[in-house]
Structure 1
Amino acid sequence: MKVQRWGITLPLTGIPLAAHRELVRELQGLGYTDVWSAETAGTDAFTPLALTSEWAPGLRLGTAIAPVYTRGPGLLAMQAATIAELAPGRFVLGVGTSTPTIVTGWNAVPFTDPYARARDTLRFLRAALVGDKVSEDYPTFAVSKFRLERPPTPPPPILLAALRPGMLRLAAREADGAITNWLAPGDVPQVRAELGAAGELVARVFVCPTEDAEAARGLGRMLISSYLTVPVYAAFHDWLGRGEVLAPMHAAWAAGDRAGANAAIPDSVVDDLIVHGPVEYCRERVAAYLEAGLDTPVISVLPTGADPLELVRSLAP
């Protein structure tokens, strides 16, 4: 029987990593099945999962995502193997290209040919994580005589961060599924159609549990203008059919008018992409992603002024 998954993004914003211990120990009893980490400018993607593997040995763990540029291929395989050893059969390695800001601006690595780099990394990881000795000149990097000392048993599934058809089809061919974000329940079938039925589809869902709709939409607008003006996300929402409605936001942003860009985002777009309202409604809205064909919703709790630890408890299924 297929498990109905209900994930949470950890660590929570503003909460020290060590302060998550008691909450993590409660998660499985609350009905959560998964903990997924992220990697931007806070914790790295792997350390929170190492702690979670000890604090809550029954949860599935995943990275969403570990960038393919910011670690060498061998180090990426080593870190994945470490978590897979700590959580055998319960770890999913999510990788992706990330963005030029993170890769080049923060890590001084050229962001070149992202599709090919993702493809080559998937092929390397497939071989390395089953214990093969890898010597290969891939189109975007070369590896000589790399072999893991302790390949994990079983090797973890690998998911690829993907938005538009090209990456989604790559995920279908070379990975075990795809990770996406910034989509509404109604967008899931379009994404699923490109991935196919076989691969796991994971999405981060931004949830702001508050009855103050004005505050939730204000926060939502700031996040949407920050993310959806990035070219890859702009192209994603063009593909999803929001190009025309988001055009005024893009025009204001390009002119340097940040306030105008926020104001140009319609309430309907915010309500599509940010789950907000009473806790009961938020749970129903997250469940709507499952009904639309998502396999694993991963809640990302947005700040409301309430205790984020209590919000996680309240959003449990």
Structure 2
Amino acid sequence: MKIGLQLGYWGAQPPTRAQELVDAAEAAGFDAVFAAESWGSDAFTPLAWWGSGTERVRLGTSVAQLSARTPTSCAMHALTLDHLSGGRAILGLGVSGPQVVEGWYGQPFAKPLARTREYVSIVRQVLAREAPVVNPGPHYPLPYDGPGSTGLGKPLKPITHPLRADIPIWLGAEGPKNVAMTAEIADGWLAIYYSPRLAPLYDKWLDEGFARAGARRSRDDFEIAATCQVIVTDDTAAAVAALKPVTALYVGGMGAPELNFHAQVYSRMGYEREVEEIGRLFRDGRKDEAAAVVPDEMVTETMIIGDADEVRAGVRRWEDAGVTMLLVNCHDADQVRQIVDIVR
């Protein structure tokens, strides 16, 4: 089982111990370090800054939002980070949701699967550098010839030769169609709220993608990186209680009432009634009550919490379910080392 460090995205201020965590992850044998973005900090700059002192860990975005950059701009970011890190970049991409895409980036959210497929295709063209990049659209036409066009657009190749033409592209995906497409066109799946209990269902979605004509990978060389809180404690109840507000936030507050992908994930697990109640309370501003509705199982099903032996058993369970990397949050260097000692 590989281990990745998730730095996440920043809150009101930059984190104060990120460099300590990255250095500890490098020293302890973590496979990768990831950074995220929402509508504050970006995903690439922290990797370049805090990763500059590393030599071994891979540096990945988990995830860079499609609507934040054009495909060619995103390819430039990945190309640059890959050169600076000596070939250690992982480009993790995701569509985000309509509240962010339309409310923050001012872009249409419609047809997220088609947009993702087209976006990835353009990024791969840039990195391959075999010919000037062209794309007929409809989402990212190159050269642009729509309203306001001068008609002077010229197909271009990147000036800088990519260090690697095959920088791994991993996709954040939650629904069945998106997971199947991820298996078809990507090199890895960034899974959130993964439940080992649902592994047979995930396998069905993944196998559909692997079986499609032209699929890039097979199960043998496809990575599944699952975000997972790993907490070693003798007081499991207290740890679970502390995580319930976070679960309630993502189920009730990180998405529109009409379309919340995180809520849909938990509904597929069988928590439809709880999801509905959490969403209602959260929208009414009753966040503490929303957290109280979250059952213990809704937390423990997607996280590994317990004493050292229980955590080891949990890691084996996730590995048996097909996960190749646990993507974990850590508070300090001691926790980084503790997780490695127990998992390895």
TM interval, shorter chain, is 0.7 to 0.9
Q: Within 5 A, what are the aligned runs for 1:1-317?
A: 4-10=1-7, 16=14, 19-131=17-129, 132-144=131-143, 145-155=155-165, 156-196=167-207, 197-198=219-220, 199-229=222-252, 230=255, 231-244=260-273, 246-253=275-282, 257-278=286-307, 281-282=310-311, 284-301=313-330, 308-316=332-340, 317=343
Going from structure 1 to structure 2, the CA distance change for 1:51 and 1:218 (only over 3 Å counts) comes to same
Task: Compute the displacement of 1:173 (Å).
Answer: 1.8
Q: Does the Cα contact within 8 Å between 1:12 and 1:308 map onto a contact in 2?
A: no
Shift of 1:167: 0.4
> How many equivalent pairs are there?
309
SS at match of 2:225: strand
Q: Displacement, 1:310?
A: 2.3
Structure 1 residue matching 2:171: 3-state secondary structure = strand
Q: Which structure would you say has the larger Rg?
A: 2
Distance in 1 between the 2:25 and 2:288 partners?
A: 39
Distance (Å, rounded) in 2 between the aligned partners of 1:41 and 1:268: 30
Does 44-53 or 113-122 show the bigger shift? 44-53
Please report how far the alpha carbon of residue 92 of structure 1 lies from its aligned counterpart in structure 2 after TM superposition.
1.5
1:180/1:203 contact within 8 Å kept: yes
Cα contact 2:195–2:301 (8 A) shared by 1: yes
What letter matches 2:162 in structure 1? P
CA 1:151–1:204 in 2, change beyond 3 Å: closer, same or farther?
Answer: farther
Task: Tell me, yes or no, if the aligned pair for 1:279 and 1:314 is still in contact at 8 Å.
Answer: no
| Counterpart code for 1:168 | V
Ranges in structure 1 where 5+ consecutive residues have no aligned partner: 302-306
Instruction: Give yes or no for contact 1:100–1:111 (8 Å, CA) kept in 2.
Output: yes
Shift of residue 247 of structure 1? 4.1
1:280–1:89 distance in 2 versus 1, CA, 3 Å: farther
Q: Distance in 1 between matches of 2:23 and 2:278?
A: 42
Q: Answer yes or no: is the 8 Å Cα contact 2:9–2:41 preserved in 1.
A: no
Distance 1:164 1:127 in 2: 27
| Contact persistence 1:57–1:87 (CA under 8 A) | yes
Q: Which deviates more from structure 2 when the two are superposed, residues 203-212 or residues 224-233?
A: 203-212
SS of the residue 1:134 aligns to: coil
Q: Is the contact between residue 279 and residue 315 of structure 1 (CA under 8 Å) also seen in structure 2?
A: no
* CA RMSD after TM alignment: 2.7
Q: Could you say what secondary structure the match of 1:62 adopts?
A: strand
- Normalized against structure 2, the TM-score is what? 0.79
Compare 307-316 and 88-97 and name the one that shifted more: 307-316
Q: After TM superposition, give the deviation of residue 93 of structure 1 in Å.
A: 0.8
Bigger mean CA offset, 89-98 vs 198-207: 198-207
Which segments of 5 or more consecutive residues in structure 2 lack a partner in the other structure?
144-154, 208-218
Q: What percent of counterpart residues are identical?
A: 28
Of Structure 1 and Structure 2, the greater strand share is in 1
| TM-score of the superposed pair, with normalisation by structure 1 | 0.86
